[in-house]
């Protein structure tokens, strides 16, 4: 696939992988080997609440770049502090910025998101914000200095795919920074569609980690992202309501 | 001296490094970050930064997440 960069940094793949939801950490090396992701996301939590269980060692052994997120943060203040903690703990100034509005819908809080993005950009972070599928918000985030925008296809963990493909296309048209489809991917066709719509990359977590066979789904998503990206470049035929023969009409018998 | 560590009250004294040693067995654990009163305490300051009565300390690390 063609070279893919965010903030000038070349990533090896257009598939980004979330690690949340995997029932058994022992599966992670095989999942990463099958997905070949450009980056892998992690969350930041209090040391006592969840055993780290060698997660960082596993990711470092796989030599995959780590992208910390601010999952679970409900305000700009929490998200900025979490990003700073992640930078200190993981020695990266990249952050997948999540500021959710409530714990039921898990939908991004656009107001707090823009505020947090502005603060983090000022502090020198490379900010990749998780956003609603709104081209106006995407442009606001780009104006704030974000290195990419990550619109949702549908709610986190829902597996509903891309509910509004026109909005994703509008975001691709609205911003110059890479668009990474985040949230909602349920299976390979969702990831392929995201790429066909013009996204630069896809982030998938639950689609892989909660699949019956996470390793097989990791491979499927890798292939789907490649297929969708190649198809986007190939240029699809226009849709039309009437048939158009591909075989010659001349020379038919009888 | 009473401080709050990851939301729970603790009776401890000393520095951030002393607290980390008590909780993790390591004065300078990797993959960990510390905030006191919502301010990051850089790794290189852990050994010098004394905890004060009433401090609210957060000690975080990476876990699986999307």
CB of A94 within 8 A of CB of A67? yes
Pairing mode, strands B56-64 and B32-36? antiparallel
Confidence of residue A132 (pLDDT cuts 50, 70, 90): very high
End-to-end alpha-carbon separation of chain A, Å?
Answer: 48
What domain count does chain A have?
1
Residue of chain A with shortest Cα separation from B20: A47
Predicted pLDDT of residue A169: 97
| DSSP 3-state of A205 | coil
Domain-embedded: residue A189:
yes
Domain-embedded: residue A251:
no
The first and second tokens of residue A161, run together, are: 């795919």
Q: What is the mean pLDDT of residues A96-111?
A: 95
The mean of the pLDDT values for chain A is 94
CB of B36 within 8 A of CB of B57? yes
Domain-embedded: residue A5:
no
Sort A208 into a burial class: Cβ within 10 Å, 0-12 / 13-18 / 19+.
buried
CA distance A92 to A222: 25
What is the ipTM for the molecules in this complex? Answer: 0.92
Cβ–Cβ below 8 Å for A68 and B62:
yes
Confidence check: pLDDT of A1 > 80? no
Cβ–Cβ below 8 Å for A84 and B35:
yes
Predicted pLDDT of residue A52: 52
Quickly list H helices, A2-75. Answer: 28-35, 55-61
Q: Which residue bears the tokens 């979490």?
A: A82
Domain-embedded: residue A102:
yes
In CATH, what number does B2-61 get? Answer: 3.10.20.30
Cβ–Cβ below 8 Å for B63 and A206:
no
Domain-embedded: residue A49:
yes
> Percentage of chain A surpassing pLDDT 70?
97
What is the CATH classification number for the domain harbouring A115?
3.20.20.70
Q: Per-residue pLDDT tens for B33-60? A: 999 999 999 999 999 999 999 999 999 9
Conformation bin of residue B38: beta by default, left when phi > 0, alpha when psi is -120 to 50 = left
Domain that holds residue A62: 11-234
Cβ–Cβ below 8 Å for A156 and B31:
no
CB of B15 within 8 A of CB of B46? yes
Residue of chain A with shortest Cα separation from B66: A18
Confidence check: pLDDT of A49 > 70? no
Quickly list H helices, chain A. Answer: 28-35, 55-61, 76-90, 110-122, 135-143, 165-174, 188-196, 206-209, 214-234
The mean of the pLDDT values for chain B is 92
Confidence of residue A3 (pLDDT cuts 50, 70, 90): confident
Q: How far is B45 from chain A (nearest CA, A)?
A: 12
Domain ranges of chain B: 2-61
Query: Is A206 annotated as contributing to ligand binding?
Result: yes
- The values of phi and psi at residue A110, to 5°, are -60, -40
Confidence check: pLDDT of A8 > 80? yes
Q: Which of B42, B60, B62 sits opposite A56 (nearest CB)?
A: B62
Confidence of residue A53 (pLDDT cuts 50, 70, 90): low
Confidence of residue A2 (pLDDT cuts 50, 70, 90): low
Q: Per-residue pLDDT tens for A14-36? A: 999 999 888 888 999 999 999 99
Confidence check: pLDDT of A154 > 60? yes
Residue of chain B with shortest Cα separation from A28: B64
CA distance A45 to B36: 15
Confidence check: pLDDT of A51 > 60? no
Predicted pLDDT of residue B13: 85
Q: Which residue bears the tokens 């040391």?
A: A47
Q: Which residue bears the tokens 């990051």?
A: B40
Enter the pTM of the model.
0.92
* CA distances (Å), origin A197, targets A41, A205, A234, A253, B63: 24, 20, 12, 43, 32
Please name the residues in contact with A250: beta carbons below 8 A apart, sequence gap of 6 or more.
Answer: none
CA distance A151 to A132: 5
The first and second tokens of residue A247, run together, are: 């075989």
């Amino acid at each position: 696939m063609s070279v893919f960069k965010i903030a000038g940094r070349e990533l090896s793949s257009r598939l980004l992988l979330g690690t949340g939801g995997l029932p058994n950490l022992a599966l992670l090396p095989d999942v990463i080997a099958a997905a070949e992701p450009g980056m892998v996301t992690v969350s930041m939590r209090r040391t006592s609440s969840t055993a780290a269980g060698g997660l960082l060692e596993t990711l470092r052994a796989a030599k995959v770049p780590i992208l910390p997120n601010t999952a679970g943060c409900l305000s700009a203040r929490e998200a900025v502090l979490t990003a700073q903690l992640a930078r200190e703990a993981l020695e990266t100034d990249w952050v997948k910025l999540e500021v959710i509005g409530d714990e039921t819908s898990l939908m991004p809080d656009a107001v707090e998101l823009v505020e947090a993005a502005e603060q983090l950009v000022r502090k020198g972070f490379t900010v990749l914000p998780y956003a609603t599928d709104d081209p106006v918000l995407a442009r606001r985030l780009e104006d704030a200095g974000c290195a990419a925008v990550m619109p949702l296809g549908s709610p986190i963990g829902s597996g509903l795919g891309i509910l509004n493909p026109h909005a994703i296309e509008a975001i691709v048209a609205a911003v110059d920074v890479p668009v990474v489809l985040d949230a909602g991917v349920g299976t390979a066709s969702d990831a392929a569609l995201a790429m066909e719509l013009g996204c630069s990359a896809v982030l998938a977590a639950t689609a892989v980690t909660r699949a019956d066979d996470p390793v097989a789904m990791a491979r499927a998503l890798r292939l789907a992202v490649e297929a969708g990206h190649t198809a986007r470049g190939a240029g699809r035929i226009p849709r039309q309501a009437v048939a158009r023969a591909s075989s010659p009409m001349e020379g038919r018998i009888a | 001296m009473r401080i709050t560590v990851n939301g729970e009250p603790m009776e401890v004294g000393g520095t951030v490094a002393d607290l980390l040693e008590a909780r993790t067995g390591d004065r300078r654990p990797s993959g960990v970050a510390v905030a006191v009163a919502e301010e990051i305490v850089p790794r290189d300051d852990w050994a010098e930064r004394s905890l004060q009565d009433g401090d609210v300390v957060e000690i975080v690390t990476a876990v699986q997440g999307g």
